[in-house]
Amino acid sequence: MAEAKQRVSIFPILTVNFAGTLGFSIVLPSLIFLVTRFGGNAFVFGLMGASYSFFQLLGAPLLGRWSDRYGRRRILFLSELLWRTSIPGHSAPSC
């Protein structure tokens, strides 16, 4: 009798990818107003927009390697936990 293949759900990966893309697409149109408000120009806007893709290029292979080593759920949980702990720092007023 042949072994039955175990079905692996990719739903968590697709959900995280959708959330990241949605967040980027929500922030990007309003970024131009923030950049111009703080005295930036088109070059600064380009750098701000490209920084997300650049750090995703650096972080994706690292997170992929960690998820292969430690498990996908653990790494997704860790990245979600770190993201949620960074929210108060982003929300705090700057002095």
> Over the stretch 19-53, which tens digit does the pLDDT of each residue have?
878 888 888 888 889 899 999 999 999 998 898 88
Instruction: Tell whether pTM > 0.75.
Output: no
- CA geometry: angle at 18 spanning 90 and 76, to 5°? 70
C-beta neighbour count of 72 within 10 angstroms: 18
Q: Which residue has the tokens 């653990």?
A: 74
Q: Tens digits of per-residue pLDDT, 71-88?
A: 989 998 998 898 889 888
**Angle at the Cα of 17 (from 89 to 69), degrees rounded to 5?**
85
What are 49's two structure tokens?
A: 């927009």
